Structure 1
């Protein structure tokens, strides 16, 4: 008897005026152009065997997934930024922009870097791991001796800075729309997991919050970081900074495993509340999407599923070497 393939836990990310979804064999981004056309970027997944093996190792797989998704996601962010920049220019400016792209920073490059900075968890960790250490040391270094209490205060400062940062950027029009597409991404995944037909009306019924979101991951690194950092004592600021850097991969790995655990327990009474802090953070990182935005998210998800199915059929038929996608599109 043939074994049924394991269900896929689909994930994605919001991009400028669109959504990217990752499947088994392909990553697809759909963006809404100014003329209302939906444009796609289709990139076949080419995971190396080493990466696939590392993704099966507990603790390590979280770090590998983070790095891998950051690398692959940048291509889709740049694609959406280029489309957004192109739509923002009139024909004459567009021609001038093409001449500048070879010699310096273009508008699309600036927007692309800004988008990556907002969405990239790596950027967030560089900012929110060490800055609270220096702030806490400046405010309480001469007052409190207990390093565990100081770790708790540091965690509180880290959370406060994160909330202020997310609230501030959510006030800008571009990021507000980005967070709306983030909500649209979550709604589509939730509707699919519930077995709903993916129509705008059906998808809009679902919550914009989801247990597997990277926002939940950010919250977990703050909470679990306090626990991990409290295991290893430190005596001065230098030791503390070194400890944070050395233990950061441990915090990331544990947070990833805990996120998987909370997702698997979300239907269990009482235990489901373990994931609530991450869901609360998503109240800032997601916004209610419009019907047009949900339409783009559905288009991206359906195209990803369609291309995944093509890959599965091609693998079953064992065709001649080649890809069902044009690699140039990626």
Structure 2
């Protein structure tokens, strides 16, 4: 007979497997505690293999373990004075064992024999045996129903059901997941409830042929043959597990009737406890380390053809666990199931195309971290060229300068400029609520509120209406052709705001409007700096020259693509 088995507690499970006994309990905070006892299960040898005797030895071991675990069985974080007696006896194992034996003898032997003895009408041996069987059966049911009626104690029955279901799932060689365990039966052939029923049936059959004597002699006979009954019941249990005969099926059907009352369908969190208990007791790895979890996430993203799979997996685990990069590659610390599930959920979101920046809520740009949310364009490294060129212009002046970050999005461009030049005042303009709020958050985070202004406006309308001037304009406007939006990469097309991408029919609508408006707000020789699509530099240069911009320069990115264009406004061109 396989030795894997368990015992239900009020707040968890004790599972005994080939490696150890695992005590797994859920605290009221939701935290899961795992305790192991070095109680290895080995194959029986010597007297433990002898027919009938092995059942008696097994029963003694069960009673011993149950008594030793009494404190665990009855204790939880909500202990109160009503458990005072149990807590007292559980501190003294000898007293507990003695009390358990006396209680068992009285309830199982003395009480049924006393009832049939004091009722004169009970004379027939068969009738007496049947009545005693019913009394004992009723006592078992009364005990079970008393547990079921108490919400706290009924958890024991749910954990009992979870124990059966996880063992059935494991022994059927199915993956130990909550869904698989839920599909498994809560009835098991090795259940202790079966053992009790077989004991009752054995007593019923034996006392159909044993003559009746006095109360004391009959009680003595019952006690004397109890080890034999235990041995026979164990052999029946062993036969039940090994056989698929009609007789064993009939016996299991009978035992199912009692298991319907001794087990209940468990909840998901109770199944989770049972899975951890079984894995721990069998020596199956329960938790992944930080390094192992990172490798799992990296593998998932690599198989999904995510180009930046390694970087993304690292950034997600750093975000989930609040750790530094070196810990990702070296740490052997185990990760809780809650954190692991959270990490894998984000990995699956990334696998399905969601940008990493939206998941972790930040993006590094120009060596600075920025808050990023859905509804705001994610800053790209290519745009850092725009910051470089504007800083070159501004650093040539020692005077305080006023610029505008137009179509600001997260505010990454303007803030990067201000962080690297203390003389710059910047007005951030966008026409949508989310970018406005995110820009304000980034300004506050980088302590630039004294030199920054945030305005909701349709491009430069705010400056035009208020007659305000600017020394320079920096902008990364939308420049994707409308018809090309649906051809973009999935993570851009499905997640980033189209209003920050769509530049009209030819992708140049914003450049035209900005250049026309800029003439009304820029000071003489004021500059305008754009990020541009790589194949539109000369088209945008034409737009700029048509609006009195001169000394126009085009700058390439590290891939040698046209990326930035800069020009200066002249009110009069000679």
TM-score (norm 2): 0.45
Residue 206 (structure 2) pairs with residue 228 (structure 1): yes
CA–CA distance in structure 2, aligned partners of residues 279 and 214 of structure 1 = 12
Residue 21 (structure 2) pairs with residue 27 (structure 1): yes
**Aligned ranges for residues 89-104 of structure 1 at < 5 Å?**
none
Aligned partner of 1:130 in structure 2 is: 110
The alignment partner of 2:283 has SS state of helix
Aligned partner of 1:289 in structure 2 is: 266
Aligned partner of 1:53 in structure 2 is: 46
Given the alignment, which residue of 126, 148, 153 partners 1:175? 153
Change (3 A) 1:123 1:215: farther
Aligned partner of 1:147 in structure 2 is: 125
Aligned partner of 1:37 in structure 2 is: 31
Deviations 1:255-290 (A, max 9, x none): 11111112222x334541122222211111111110
Aligned partner of 2:250 in structure 1 is: 273
**Aligned ranges for residues 213-224 of structure 1 at < 5 Å?**
213-224=191-202
Aligned partner of 1:298 in structure 2 is: 275
Aligned partner of 1:311 in structure 2 is: none
Q: Is the 8 A contact 1:10 1:23 kept in 2?
A: yes
Aligned partner of 1:88 in structure 2 is: 78
Q: Is the 8 A contact 2:22 2:34 kept in 1?
A: yes
Q: Is the 8 A contact 1:190 1:210 kept in 2?
A: yes
CA–CA distance in structure 1, aligned partners of residues 141 and 284 of structure 2 = 38
Task: Give the unaligned 5+ runs of structure 1.
Answer: 1-6, 98-104, 309-330
Equivalences, count: 279
Q: How far did residue 294 of structure 1 move?
A: 0.4
**Higher helix fraction: Structure 1 or Structure 2?**
1
Deviations 1:179-234 (A, max 9, x none): 10000000000101111100011101112111110001111111111112333323
Task: Give the unaligned 5+ runs of structure 2.
Answer: 286-574
Q: How far did residue 79 of structure 1 move?
A: 3.9
Q: Is the 8 A contact 1:15 1:77 kept in 2?
A: no
Deviations 1:294-314 (A, max 9, x none): 000000111112279xxxxxx
Given the alignment, which residue of 58, 61, 64 partners 1:68? 61
Change (3 A) 1:296 1:168: same
CA–CA distance in structure 1, aligned partners of residues 45 and 23 of structure 2 = 23
Q: How far did residue 144 of structure 1 move?
A: 3.8
Q: Is the 8 A contact 1:14 1:185 kept in 2?
A: yes
CA–CA distance in structure 2, aligned partners of residues 306 and 199 of structure 1 = 17
The alignment partner of 2:225 has SS state of helix
CA–CA distance in structure 2, aligned partners of residues 249 and 289 of structure 1 = 34
Change (3 A) 1:215 1:66: same
Q: Is the 8 A contact 1:130 1:244 kept in 2?
A: no
TM-score (norm 1): 0.75
CA–CA distance in structure 2, aligned partners of residues 203 and 27 of structure 1 = 21
Aligned partner of 1:163 in structure 2 is: 141
Q: Is the 8 A contact 2:164 2:187 kept in 1?
A: yes
CA–CA distance in structure 2, aligned partners of residues 235 and 124 of structure 1 = 22
Change (3 A) 1:107 1:124: closer
Which gives a bigger RCO, structure 1 or 2 (Cα 8 Å, sep 6+)? 1
CA–CA distance in structure 2, aligned partners of residues 177 and 111 of structure 1 = 23
Q: Is the 8 A contact 2:18 2:40 kept in 1?
A: no
CA–CA distance in structure 2, aligned partners of residues 110 and 203 of structure 1 = 37
**Higher strand fraction: Structure 1 or Structure 2?**
2
Q: Is the 8 A contact 2:117 2:215 kept in 1?
A: yes
Q: Is the 8 A contact 1:29 1:76 kept in 2?
A: no
